[in-house]
Amino acid sequence: MRSNSVKLGAPRAPHRSLFKALGFIDEELERPLIGVVVAQSEIVPGHAHLGLIAKAASDGVREAGGVPVQFPVIGVCDGIAMGHVGMRYSLVTRELIADSVECMAMAHGFDALIFIPNCDKVVPGMLMASARLNIPSVFVSGGPMLAGRGAGGKTLTLTTMFEAVGAVGSGRMSEAELDELEERACPGCGSCSGMFTANSMNCVTEALGMALPFNGTAPAVHAERIRLAKKTGFLAMDVLKKNILPRSILTERAFLNALALDMAIGASTNTALHLPAIAGEAGVALGFEVFNAVSAATPNLCRLAPASDTPIEELHFAGGIPAVLKELSRKGLIDDAAPTVYGTLGDAIKAALNCNTAVIRPIDDPHSPTGGLAALWGNIAPEGCVVKQSAVAPSMLRHTGPARVFESEEAAFDAIMGGLIKPGDVIVIRYEGPRGGPGMKEMLGPTAALAGMGLDDKVALLTDGRFSGASKGAAIGHISPEAALGGPLALVREGDVIEIDIPARAIAARVDDAELLRRGAEWKAPPPKVVSGCLARYAERVGSAARGAVFE
């Protein structure tokens, strides 16, 4: 056992004395030590209940003969951090989480790990850590929040609230109506109730094979979630006994399975940031070209919030991720022989049922023949950019319009709320990339304001930053290389005509190469926005969003 390095033999008597200071007894020190990595906190709704999940998982470990040992990691609530300086600190935590888990696991000699994440950067940060450490690991998330219910039973999600801000700004909604929505939109604990980034990543964890079926969809407040956590505790002991290592699961075939699921469920554009980062830790290359190849072959089967009013709980009741994978397997789009922490992916698919074909469309009757995400290239995005095409109005899949250029998210948001953006415009928000932000802020405020004003099917938005999974519309992010590094987005000027052709995977400014070269020669890098602290260190080391915004 790895834990013998901290507890076995006379030289480890001092170590054992410290364990006994914690209340351990000799019988426990003879058993495997299972680290339970839990992101519980009192500031993140998705994490407020994780103590209960950790207890259930720990109960499972103890009943299976192991000794559970809980330790915490940090986590940012992207919704609370949205729209102000706090959003600069969200993506940064992904690397901090991976590093802190590595530190704790290596320092204390755990034999295996149970990871309990839920929200946006915590899931990929923990997956990166599991691949990096390569010791037996299993995952169980905290599960999604139930949808809110408004007047007449209308489904409410966090997107509803952000879009309502735009509706109030344009006079389409009263402040009294806004107040009523505020009381109802988020009814309790769990990750926000659409196919936003947190739920996208928890579902993807199933397809990667690192969690039991229904990890991504069983509601946070249902007893099923507690049972799932207990089973995960037992599973951790089984994975340890069989010495199943993360890198034996996180192979190229696993990432192709994850991408196929991603395309089928219309997951967040942030998966295009996180999956390459996780794959890199596992020694697998995963570029935008792979995303497009899988998207071209994989139909989009689910249209969940924000692409519709359907919350993620309906996906669970329809059969969950196993049912989606089963549909994909009918066309050979999933490698069901891929190993998982509990067997093979085929074991999850075998018993799956599609109980609601309105929520999970049959493979022969998809919403669209191609997947939910698309990568685009062109003279303003030579390394590529990403859009959630399943959440784009058909009329905006091809669009040409004048650039409205802003040097920050805040400036663009003020212009939108001030009525300065007109139908046909192409909003450009730059210097918000991984290095320029720094931290690559999400842009839910601007996209939701446009939707609330009824402009999401009339206006496009381009950025070297990124978008919340709750964003919808022609929101094209991750433009690489970013403006702060002199990428061509920095050279776009007010009024330049921008052409977007999502089906053709193309994006460009109608500016000839010679003019771009001339502008490039005149360009000067702006001073850094942050010169001290973790953001400054992050900006010095972070790489391109096209490669997952990992440290290079």
Rounded distance, CA 178 to CA 165, Å? 8
Other CB atoms within 10 Å distance of the CB of residue 186: 22
H or E stretch covering 269: none
Per-residue pLDDT tens over the stretch 408-423: 999 999 999 999 999 9
What is the pLDDT at residue 460? 98
What separation in angstroms does the CA of 486 have from each of 123, 327, 527? 31, 44, 13
What is the pLDDT at residue 465? 97
Residue 479's pLDDT band, with cuts at 50, 70 and 90, is very high
The percent of residues above 90 in pLDDT, for the chain, comes to 99
Per-residue pLDDT tens over the stretch 529-546: 999 999 999 999 999 999
What is the pLDDT at residue 436? 97
Assess whether 468 carries a catalytic annotation.
Answer: yes
Per-residue pLDDT tens over the stretch 425-434: 999 999 999 9
Mean pLDDT of the region 108-123: 98
What is the pLDDT at residue 80? 97
Per-residue pLDDT tens over the stretch 167-203: 999 999 999 999 999 999 999 999 999 999 999 999 9
What is the pLDDT at residue 303? 97
What is the pLDDT at residue 497? 98
Measured in degrees and rounded to the nearest 5, phi and psi for residue 296 equal -65, -30
H or E stretch covering 181: helix 175-184
What letter represents residue 339's amino acid? P
Mean pLDDT of the region 383-396: 97
Q: What is the DSSP string of 187-250?
A: -SSSB-SSS-HHHHHHHHHHHHTSB-TTTTTS-TTSHHHHHHHHHHHHHHHHHHHHT--HHHHS
Mean pLDDT of the region 448-473: 96
Question: What does pLDDT average to over the chain?
Answer: 97
What letter represents residue 94's amino acid? R
Assessment of whether the complete model's pTM goes beyond 0.75: yes
Catalytic residue among 58, 137, 468, 471: 468
What separation in angstroms does the CA of 456 have from each of 120, 391, 396, 448, 471? 24, 10, 9, 8, 10
What is the pLDDT at residue 299? 98
For residue 38, which of 17, 59, 16, 53 has the smallest C-alpha distance? Answer: 53
What is the pLDDT at residue 448? 94
H or E stretch covering 345: helix 345-350
Query: Helical H runs in 109-157?
Result: 122-133
Longest dimension (CA), the chain: 76
